[in-house]
Chain A
Amino acid sequence: MKVIKEKHPLAMRWTHWVNFPILTIMIWSGMLIYWANDEYKITLFGHTFFSFFPDWFYSALRIPHRLSEGMAFHFLFMWFFTLNGILYVLYTIISGEWRELLPQKKSFKEAWLVLLHDLHIRKMAPPQNKYNAAQRIAYTAIIIMGLGSVITGLAIYKPVQFYYLTWLCGGYHFARILHFALTIGYVGFFVIHVVQVILAGWNNFRSVISGFEVLNEEPKPIIKITPPSDEKNIQ
């Protein structure tokens, strides 16, 4: 028999889907800004493995020579990104949802088992509530990353007025590197997230839009079987 099981609250679904286009716009406009001083590369022992970003990448996304445009978009959508994040965090705190989200002591050990299970190395996954240990870590980390983007962003946006944030982020250069690295982190998160959502299937995906999952439960017996009264209960 089919049963409706409530999964994701309305506030979580809205903030999730509102965040998606906003973060996309922030990443895109951020690239328009980064292009004007695209100095980051991965270099090990004097050999450059990758430059952020290759020319074909820039031209494919039509990024070059759009600094002022990028800044104008970035400094508008930063408000929505921050506000949406605040609403989500407030919601999880007030609703008590944070209990399902924050990693527990055992989560770090369990996340490893979840990973092995997901990679089909281990048969059993540890028991879980709404989110498994790896999800708890990932969904908490992504919020901390969001906060990190706001803080490092302010540190490079107003390094004089928010000098203490710039100091906290290890200076102007390091704040800019962190801001960039966090963005690369979002892209990595996105790729794994989408793969996991595809693997988890329709029922799971639907729950992030309509809020519920459909479970098949064994029908429970309607008539309670009670022992005949003339027999003694042996207890």
Chain B
Amino acid sequence: MKKTFSKKQKAPKKPLTIEQKITRRNFLSFGTFIVAGSVAYGGWKWLYNSPEEARTVTAGARAPLRRALNKTELAFRRIFSNNNLVKTYPKNMAAKAVRHNSDIGSEGKIDIDAWKLQVKKHTGEVLHISLEDIKALPKTDIVYDFKCVEGWDQISHWGGVKFSDFINHFKLNAETELQYVGLATPDKEYYVGIDMPSAMHPQTLLAYEVNEKPLPPKHGAPLRLIIPVKYGIKNLKRIGTMSFSDTRPPDYWAEQGYDYYSGL
């Protein structure tokens, strides 16, 4: 059946010749190619030259890239599970000379006897915990592959108290209802924020030993964080204070353009 679109009958169009078809299709496809290419190039220029993010707990990244990092974090948080454990190794595989990258916040020596870990509860109450109190808790050892954001890694042996054991013993369970743990060195020069699931991972330690000896100053004496589900940048040395919050605590390397989550 023929449909009549208009009463005026147009003269039937001549079919295009091969040459015309070729020209037409080349025009359309190359036109699209050039337009799409220009849009892509413009998009890249926009992204590359986009302004740095406004300084909050994170800084130093291009604003759209920071948004992307935060979105990507949400995606990978969904697959995070306490059942996924970092691979462990026999003791004899641990490095004798443990690599040391940075001293920010843990320079010089510290008076270990005078040192107390300050735990700031969200109620405002502050606990002062000595190294002896921490050492009195059951000790956990881990030999695992420590991974640096730079790309190197090293099997190392750490000993200390499980973060979750520490929480239970000092009755901090209500704090774990909050989303983040903040840790800082006594001089507040270095600080990290850790999401609660990662902190409560069964392999996260408050470590006071490396290779079965007390931590030397360069490895974070008297107490440091060992968190195998994060890059080294989150493994804060010489912990001075611990706090809990629902908002992201300040994080040294997240202020330098790195991913806040930095999870493995």
Interface residues of A (CB under 8 A from B): 1-4, 13, 17, 21, 25, 33-34, 36-37, 39, 67-69, 71-73, 75-76, 79, 158-161, 163, 166, 172-173, 176, 206, 209-212, 214
Contact = CB atoms under 8 A, between A and B. Distances in A.
B27 to A, nearest CB: 9
Contact of B84 (A34, A160, A210): A160
A67 B150 CA distance: 7
A159 B264 contact: yes
Contacts of B186: none
Contact of B259 (A33, A72, A159, A173): A72
B22 A2 contact: yes
A76 B72 contact: yes
B154 to A, nearest CB: 11
Contact of B26 (A21, A67, A172, A210): A210
11 contacts: A25-B44, A36-B151, A67-B150, A72-B61, A72-B62, A72-B257, A76-B72, A158-B264, A160-B85, A161-B264, A172-B147
Interface string B45-71: 000000000000000111001101100
Contacts of B68: 72, 75-76
Given A68-B256, A212-B25, A159 B65 contact: no
B153 A172 contact: yes
Range for the number of chain B residues in contact with chain A: 35 or more
Given A4-B22, A69-B257, A73-B65, A37 B150 contact: yes
Contacts of B259: 71-72, 75
B84 A209 contact: no
Nearest to B144: A160
Nearest to B41: A21
A117 to B, nearest CB: 29
B152 A209 contact: no
Would you list the 5 A-B pairs with minimal beta carbon distance, nearest first?
A37-B151, A68-B257, A210-B29, A72-B65, A36-B150
B29 A159 contact: no
A181 to B, nearest CB: 15
Given A2-B22, A75-B69, A211-B25, 6 more contacts: A25-B44, A67-B149, A75-B259, A79-B72, A158-B79, A158-B263
B80 interface: yes
A72 B229 contact: no
B123 interface: no
Given A68-B256, A72-B68, A209-B33, A160 B86 contact: yes
B19 interface: yes
B167 interface: no
Contacts of B29: 13, 209-211
B87 interface: yes
A161 B28 CA distance: 47
Contacts of B150: 36-37, 67
